[in-house]
Structure 1
Amino acid sequence: MSGFKTYLSFVKPYWKLVVITVLIGMIKFGIPLTLPLILKYVVDDLLLSSLPAEVKVQKLIYVMLFAFALFVIVRAPIEYLRQYFAQLTTSRILYDLRNRLYDHIQKLSIRYYHNHKTGEIISRMINDADNTKNIVETGMMNVWLDLFTLSIAMGFMFYMDVELTLVAIAVFPFYALSVKKLYSKLRAFSKSRSQALADMQAHLFERVNGISVIKSFTLEDVEKDNFDKKNLLFLQKALALTKWNALTNAIINTLTDIAPLLVLFYGGYQVIQGGITLGAFVAFFAYLDRLYSPLRRLVNSSTELTQASASLERVIELLNEPYDIVDSPAAKSVQEVKGKIDFEHVSFRYDNSADWVLNDIRLNIRPGETIALVGMSGGGKSSLISLIPRFYDIQQGRILLDDVDLKDISIKSLRSQIGMVLQDNILFSGSVRENILFGKPGASEKEIIHAARAANAHDFILNLPNGYDTEIGERGVKLSGGQKQRIAIARVFLKDPRILVLDEATSALDLESEHLIQEALEQLAKDRTTLIVAHRLSTITHADQIVLIEHGEIKEKGTHEELMKKEGAYARLFNVQNLNETVKTDSF
């Protein structure tokens, strides 16, 4: 019920449109209810009357002109308006719902995305959100219109013959019993099908993104079988829902067919006995269709609403997903920062049941300093830098920026002061210019070019087919690794942050690209507090502090010269790397 109340908050701004659509629908569905009355008049008052033939024809022409005017001239625009307003209302509500969902998922923490598949999130935003429109179109519009049609038809039928009407509605209790029994499982089947679809989409999303891996390992046949399993599971869930729907329709249609047979028998008997006129019997039989058509639609509406409620449940589950990282009530915005960062006895783990990733970290970084974090993979370097923009919150200790606890700084203003260049930077489909503008939306062309020059990217951009307007493809697939990295650096130049985070930004690149990027990064790091996660120690010997992290703890700390004099773990690691590089150079 709480989920339905949440959904009503999206409907509330459009309640006038809903009412207008229902009122127009009442006219649309009310017009066909006049046809049996016209039929009764034609049979009893014209065809079976003793009026002269000329008079009958004249009156028949008048009746038909009225009928044509009502059903052709009046009903056509009414039908158009009803459809238009119904679609307008549901489309606007879906627009608002998807906007809210998108805004919501942007506020979810990195941890949430690590624990949920992208394809499933997309499925809830697209498929499940789209299915919820039946709650409005069917539940708030069509159901009331069908009840209106049903009530008017029954009113006319009771007016014409009470006994015959009671015969016509004798199967109503069986309808109610069928709906109660059959629809109890429909919700579970609908939700199960939606989950299977989401799983298949999540699998497909991952495989499309990793198609180069599949091809390089010639796993096409294996992956075809894997997708077949997901597709088969969805087929099974879909067929289970289809079977239940088919069973429901079979029972409902059978009950619907019983009513006309009962009316045909009893009504025919009444005509023979003189209880009702032939015209009244024909009109009554015509109203029978007006009675059971909306009733059948109401039953189908139950199916649609059950499936829509299952989708709504999945949408609300996503909307109710709590935010791990939020501003504290006392959080304030920061406009300018010096870049002083202090880690005070910081301990961190990704999950309360997991082991500590960082343990009792104590580190003081002065404004404008360059700090290099080194050590073996898995030691906690990347985890440490992810705490500065509050991608995760720590469990113990404090992190201070300019002597202010990070939790007392608004997340948006904190992250606006931080620029990040990663090993695998994400570029988006679109032009080079659009990707650089991520650093500062609305920047001028002069600022964009200045940032690109600073990143050693301007020259290669001009050599692209359309320069800054060149489309780079999804994740920048049309660019080399070095080109992507320089565009990523350009957007950080454009952002102009006070704090710079470099996470193995030059690894896995050729020597020429590495030289250009290293040059750009040195320019970028000037007068900024810079944290560098580096695998190649020869690139960070200039750092003001080098911090060796192993198993989540700081083992050594100092300048390159100081650590080399200690002849500890850092010196051994540096010497091993130098020896390996010398061997590689000599081999060439």
Structure 2
Amino acid sequence: MKHWKAYFTFVKPYTKWILLTLFIGVLKFGIPSMLPLVQKYVVDDILLNKSMELQEQVSQLMVVLGATLFLFVIVRGPVEYARQYFAQMITAKILFDLRNRLYSHLQKLSLRYYQNTKVGEIISRFINDAEQTKNIVEVGMMNVWLDAFTLVFVLGFMFYLDPVLTLVSIAIFPLYAIAVKVLYKQLKKLTKDRSAALAGIQAYLHERIQGISVIRSFALERHDQAKLEGVNGNYLKKALAHSRWNAWTFAIINTMTDIAPLLVIGYGGYLVIQQNLTLGTFIAFFGYLDRLYSPLKRLINSSTVLTQASASWERVLELLEEPYDMVDQPDARPLKGGNHGIAFRNVWFKYHEKDPWVLRDISLRIHPGETVAFVGMSGGGKSSLVGLIPRFYDIQKGSLLVGGRDVKEWTMESLRSSIGMVLQDNFLFSGTVRENILFGKPGSSEEEVYEAARAANAHEFILDLPNGYDTEVGERGVKLSGGQKQRIAIARVFLKDPPILILDEATSALDLESEHLIQQSLQQLSRSRTTLIVAHRLSTITHADQIIVMKNGSIAERGTHEELMDKDGVYTQLYSIQNLNP
């Protein structure tokens, strides 16, 4: 019941539209239900009426025909259109709201969640499962009620015509109830299994497309094809199991449905022979029989659709109910502009509860406007440490202060708005160069974009691109070189103009020429800002106010370049390894 209540929060804003659609649907299904009565009247009161003159019979027939033509052609057409349009419009808007809510929720989930969840699984729930949930409204809240109304409406006419024959017609109803109870419980499980298997294909495909260059470089196409066949085969197995059960369901339901007309033909025909039932009534009754079992079959089919929709909604709800690792405190306040200092006080951190400590008892003070570099061997904790400042993760012990207050006392949006990050592998979105720079500060003017690009030494190469700033960069920026992507990422940060700057291995993957240009940009960018640099090449950080040497999650050494060289310790060894010692 809980999961239905959660779905109705999306339905509630459209309650009036749903009621209007139901009313129109009553007209849509009510109009055809009049036809058997018309047939009865024509047969008994016109065609078989021996007391009526031929001319009068023809005249009465034309009147009936004109009235029914008006009702079925002039009135029913607009009613049918309105019913279909409003039903589709409501479900489309509910899906729009649901996906907006899902995306908002995804944006608030921590990086830890994305590290533990396959992207294809998320996309499957966002696209496929969300799409299936529309049947909860379209079928469950509209068609089911309209079919139920049609059943009651038709049964009323049938009891009016002949109560005993009506009871014969519905004698197999209890069998339907048993079939639904037995068949659909298993169908729901099979539907969830099939959806999970489909998500597995999407997750596999997404990952392989992202890594297609690796697959080709190792000539793993055949090996990868075989693995896909395994994943695809799992989906085929689940899909066939679902199809088999679905086929049995339809076969059993349709077989039971065919029994009722045979009972009516037998008993109704006997009554006509005995002259206890008029021929017109028998014809009308048989016409109503189709209108009785058609909505009943639709109700049974609706059970199938709703079972599948319910399974999909449970998968969507699992995503919607994924808890947030980090949220703003109730009294969190926005971090104002200006230069800010940063302080680590006995900070301990690990990514998961059962993991070993990544950072151990880190104490460090960074003054406003100061440049601090973090160096050390891979796995020392450098990137983990700077990733704590924008609250990508929360620490387990100690405290982390920005601007004199614990980071948890600031709203995450304002905290992250005050921080600019340039990473080793900066992500560019598909779109134009201009659009990617504007991610730094949406709504900026053309001149501000150009100024940011000039500051990043990017303006010249951008103008040389086929369409300048309107050049499409491709997915993840594949149409640009590593140095070009990096300079666009730096331009993005220049446009943002944050008081705190984090440079995480920003030049380690570049050639020397690109590195030289980018180093110039980064030095200009770091002026008058609190700057943290994670560096691999020690030659790029000799100017830093402080150099922190990390080893096994702890601070091994700290000081200026000259002070650390004089110590002849870990830093000196790293410097010598890179053959930088003159």
For Structure 1 versus Structure 2, the TM-score category normalised by the shorter chain is: over 0.9
Residue 374 of structure 1 aligns with which residue?
Answer: 375
Aligned partners of 1:29, 1:244: CA distance in 2, in Å? 31
Classify the secondary structure of the residue corresponding to 2:147. helix
Classify the secondary structure of the residue corresponding to 1:532. strand
Q: Does 1:389 align with 2:394?
A: no
Residue 537 of structure 2 aligns with which residue?
Answer: 536
Shift, 1:69, TM fit: 1.1
Q: Deviations over 1:423-481 (max 9, x none)?
A: 00000011111000000000011110110000000000000111111111111111000
Classify the secondary structure of the residue corresponding to 2:427. coil
Classify the secondary structure of the residue corresponding to 2:185. coil
Aligned partners of 1:522, 1:507: CA distance in 2, in Å? 16
- 1:164–1:266: 8 Å Cα contact kept in structure 2? yes
Question: Superposition pairs for residues 47-66 of structure 1, below 5 Å?
Answer: 47-50=47-50, 51-66=52-67
Shift, 1:509, TM fit: 0.9
Q: Does 1:12 align with 2:12?
A: yes
Residue 44 of structure 1 aligns with which residue?
Answer: 44
Classify the secondary structure of the residue corresponding to 1:363. strand
Question: Superposition pairs for residues 551-562 of structure 1, below 5 Å?
Answer: 551-562=552-563
Residue 349 of structure 1 aligns with which residue?
Answer: 350
Aligned length in residues: 581
Residue 453 of structure 1 aligns with which residue?
Answer: 454
Aligned partners of 1:13, 1:66: CA distance in 2, in Å? 39
Alignment gaps of 5+ in structure 2:
none
The letter for the 2-side match of 1:117 is: K
The letter for the 2-side match of 1:24 is: I
Between stretches 480-489 and 228-237, larger displacement belongs to 228-237
- 1:430–1:473: 8 Å Cα contact kept in structure 2? yes
Residue 151 of structure 2 aligns with which residue?
Answer: 150
Shift, 1:22, TM fit: 0.4
Classify the secondary structure of the residue corresponding to 1:557. strand
Shift, 1:229, TM fit: 1.4
Aligned partners of 1:212, 1:66: CA distance in 2, in Å? 71
Shift, 1:54, TM fit: 2.1
Classify the secondary structure of the residue corresponding to 1:421. strand
Question: Superposition pairs for residues 455-534 of structure 1, below 5 Å?
Answer: 455-534=456-535
Shift, 1:539, TM fit: 1.1
- 1:420–1:502: 8 Å Cα contact kept in structure 2? yes
Residue 122 of structure 1 aligns with which residue?
Answer: 123
- 1:348–1:358: 8 Å Cα contact kept in structure 2? yes
Residue 414 of structure 2 aligns with which residue?
Answer: 413
Residue 100 of structure 1 aligns with which residue?
Answer: 101
Classify the secondary structure of the residue corresponding to 1:531. strand
Aligned partners of 1:11, 1:525: CA distance in 2, in Å? 50
Classify the secondary structure of the residue corresponding to 1:184. helix
Q: Deviations over 1:59-82 (max 9, x none)?
A: 112111111111111111110000
- How big is the alpha-carbon RMSD for the aligned residues of Structure 1 and Structure 2? 1.0
Identity %: 65
Between stretches 169-178 and 67-76, larger displacement belongs to 67-76
Q: Does 1:576 align with 2:577?
A: yes
Aligned partners of 1:330, 1:156: CA distance in 2, in Å? 65
Q: Deviations over 1:295-322 (max 9, x none)?
A: 0000011111111011110111111111
Classify the secondary structure of the residue corresponding to 1:578. coil
Shift, 1:52, TM fit: 2.3
Question: Superposition pairs for residues 227-242 of structure 1, below 5 Å?
Answer: 227-242=228-243
Q: Deviations over 1:302-351 (max 9, x none)?
A: 11111101111011111111111111122111112422111000000001
Shift, 1:402, TM fit: 2.2
Aligned partners of 1:371, 1:309: CA distance in 2, in Å? 54
Shift, 1:41, TM fit: 1.0
The letter for the 2-side match of 1:317 is: E
Q: Deviations over 1:94-143 (max 9, x none)?
A: 00010011111001111110010111111111111110000000110000
Classify the secondary structure of the residue corresponding to 2:548. strand
Tell me the TM-score normalised to structure 1 length: 0.98
- 1:337–1:402: 8 Å Cα contact kept in structure 2? no
Residue 111 of structure 1 aligns with which residue?
Answer: 112
Aligned partners of 1:494, 1:122: CA distance in 2, in Å? 31
Aligned partners of 2:335, 2:383: CA distance in 1, in Å? 25
Classify the secondary structure of the residue corresponding to 1:373. strand
Aligned partners of 1:133, 1:317: CA distance in 2, in Å? 17
Residue 33 of structure 2 aligns with which residue?
Answer: 33
Shift, 1:508, TM fit: 1.5
Residue 68 of structure 2 aligns with which residue?
Answer: 67
Aligned partners of 1:235, 1:82: CA distance in 2, in Å? 37
- 1:31–1:70: 8 Å Cα contact kept in structure 2? yes
Aligned partners of 2:264, 2:387: CA distance in 1, in Å? 75
Aligned partners of 1:427, 1:338: CA distance in 2, in Å? 28
Aligned partners of 2:49, 2:237: CA distance in 1, in Å? 62
Aligned partners of 2:228, 2:48: CA distance in 1, in Å? 69
Aligned partners of 1:39, 1:526: CA distance in 2, in Å? 90
Question: Superposition pairs for residues 295-306 of structure 1, below 5 Å?
Answer: 295-306=296-307
Aligned partners of 1:65, 1:236: CA distance in 2, in Å? 56
Question: Superposition pairs for residues 61-460 of structure 1, below 5 Å?
Answer: 61-460=62-461
Classify the secondary structure of the residue corresponding to 1:321. coil
Shift, 1:536, TM fit: 0.9
Tell me the TM-score normalised to structure 2 length: 0.99
The letter for the 2-side match of 1:45 is: D
Classify the secondary structure of the residue corresponding to 1:376. coil
Aligned partners of 2:107, 2:402: CA distance in 1, in Å? 24
Aligned partners of 2:579, 2:227: CA distance in 1, in Å? 45
Q: Deviations over 1:546-570 (max 9, x none)?
A: 1111110111111111111111111
- 1:128–1:315: 8 Å Cα contact kept in structure 2? yes
Q: Deviations over 1:373-430 (max 9, x none)?
A: 1111111111001000000000000001122111111111111110000000000011
Aligned partners of 2:133, 2:577: CA distance in 1, in Å? 61
Classify the secondary structure of the residue corresponding to 2:466. coil
Aligned partners of 2:223, 2:69: CA distance in 1, in Å? 64
Aligned partners of 2:577, 2:165: CA distance in 1, in Å? 99
Between stretches 400-409 and 414-423, larger displacement belongs to 400-409
Classify the secondary structure of the residue corresponding to 2:340. coil
Aligned partners of 1:25, 1:239: CA distance in 2, in Å? 35
Aligned partners of 1:222, 1:82: CA distance in 2, in Å? 52
Classify the secondary structure of the residue corresponding to 1:183. helix
Aligned partners of 1:337, 1:394: CA distance in 2, in Å? 25
- 1:428–1:474: 8 Å Cα contact kept in structure 2? yes
Shift, 1:53, TM fit: 2.2
Aligned partners of 2:180, 2:335: CA distance in 1, in Å? 60
Residue 2 of structure 1 aligns with which residue?
Answer: 2
- 1:340–1:403: 8 Å Cα contact kept in structure 2? yes
Residue 585 of structure 1 aligns with which residue?
Answer: none
